[in-house]
Amino acid sequence: MQPRKVIIDTDPGIDDALALILALGSEALDVRLIATVAGNVDLDCCTANALRILEAFGGPAPPPVHPGCARPLGRRLARAKHVHGADGFSGAAERHPVRRLEASRTDAVTAILSAVRENPDEMTLIALGPLTNVASAIEVDAEAMTRLRELIVMGGSFGHESNVTAAAEFNFFADPVAARVVIQSGLPVTVVGLNVTHRAVLPRARFEALLREIPSAVPARRFLTDLTRQYFEVYKRQRGIEGAYLHDPLAVGAAIDPQLIASRRYPCDVEIEGELTTGMLVVDTREAAVEDRSNVRVATAVDAERFLTLFERALRTAAGTPTQKV
């Protein structure tokens, strides 16, 4: 089967990095370009981190990295350095300097629109950060964006799970205006929210056992260890769990194997002015509304074991340990 052409829009970030490794290691995906957006950390950091990942896991002909928007469309800046480290790489960025790759001089919005126009109805855009680049592309050329095959968005939550305020998930909170543009766009949007990402926790012991399978001389082992050490500590401290959420890898997983998630179309919108609820994904589950106003496909359940197995196989592939590609 032909691999699925994808664009990945991302704010690396630890789970973004793991999502990129999953995508790069999957035979089911053809990663055509990576767009970076300010989110977990500043844009330049996100772009450098994307290059770091490509140098370690991108192979001989990695996809280009196009820097995107440094500031959200609406509201003040939000960052998640307390989760991903000030460098967006668990404090290990300097141990993995970018040596040979450079970011493209073409900006992300231009690159996204060109890729969609050149591959009408074949391109899937997987958005793993604030939706600033995606909303900007819609505002520049909405017609071109209608030729997307699917827009898979890690963000929001179906129900009341949140992580950055009592009501909002980080990607939607960091740029609620952009999130509303995308949710109201009429594009084929699938939202992978906290209601499913919180149901597919990667147990620390399981991940550490996988790392031990990788020979210590293999660079990928040190890279993955550096990348994740702090990440597990953060979740232990913040959520009291011996594991880590794989928010962004699940969005990529949904592109690799759509059967990983169950979903349903609902009428959705995003709060942009609420004193307590800015950035909240509002899903209208009233049957009458669902019948005639549904605009977004919302993930409602996840096959966690199927996903974790897919994720582990991709890491083994990426690290060059014996397994067939995912």
Is there a catalytic annotation at residue 66?
no
> Would you put residue 247 in left (φ > 0), alpha (ψ -120 to 50) or beta?
alpha
The nearer residue to ligand RIB, 47 or 214, going by C-beta atoms, is: 47
Question: Considering all CA atoms of the chain, what is the largest pairwise distance in Å, rounded to the nearest integer?
Answer: 60
Characterize the bridge pairing of strands 243-244 and 202-203.
antiparallel
Out of 67, 129, 249, 279, the residue judged to bind ligand RIB by CB under 6 A: 129
Q: Are 262 and 224 in contact (CB under 8 A)?
A: no
Residue 128 touches Ca ion, criterion: CB under 5 A: yes
For residue 29, give every residue at least 6 positions away whose Cβ sits within 8 Å of its Cβ, in sequence order, or none. 3, 4, 6, 23, 252, 255, 256
Contact positions with ligand RIB (CB under 6 A) in 71-100 = 80
The nearer residue to ligand RIB, 115 or 244, going by C-beta atoms, is: 244
Q: How far is the CB of 252 from ligand RIB (least distance, A)?
A: 11
Residue 178 touches ligand RIB, criterion: CB under 6 A: no
Binding at 263: pick from ligand RIB, Ca ion, none (beta carbon under 5-8 Å per type)? none
Phi, psi of 29 (to 5 degrees): -120, 145
- Buried b / exposed e over 218-255, threshold 16 CB at 10 Å, is eebbbbbbbbbebbbebbeeeeebebbbbbbbbbbbbb
For 238, the 3-state DSSP assignment is: helix
Q: Are 39 and 129 in contact (CB under 8 A)?
A: yes
45 residue type, one letter: C
Out of 169, 175, 271, 312, the residue judged to bind ligand RIB by CB under 6 A: 169
Name the catalytic one among 66, 84, 96, 247: 247
Q: How far is the CB of 78 from ligand RIB (least distance, A)?
A: 10
Contact positions with Ca ion (CB under 5 A) in 240-259 = 248
Residue 175 touches ligand RIB, criterion: CB under 6 A: no
Residue 248 touches ligand RIB, criterion: CB under 6 A: yes
Q: How far is the CB of 78 from Ca ion (least distance, A)?
A: 12
Q: How far is the CB of 273 from Ca ion (least distance, A)?
A: 24
Q: Which of 91, 4, 88 is nearest to 38 (CA)?
A: 88
For the annotated catalytic residues, the residue numbers are 247
Residues near Ca ion (CB under 5 A): 11, 13, 16, 128-129, 248
Residues near ligand RIB (CB under 6 A): 11, 13, 15-16, 39-40, 80, 128-129, 154, 163, 169-171, 247-248
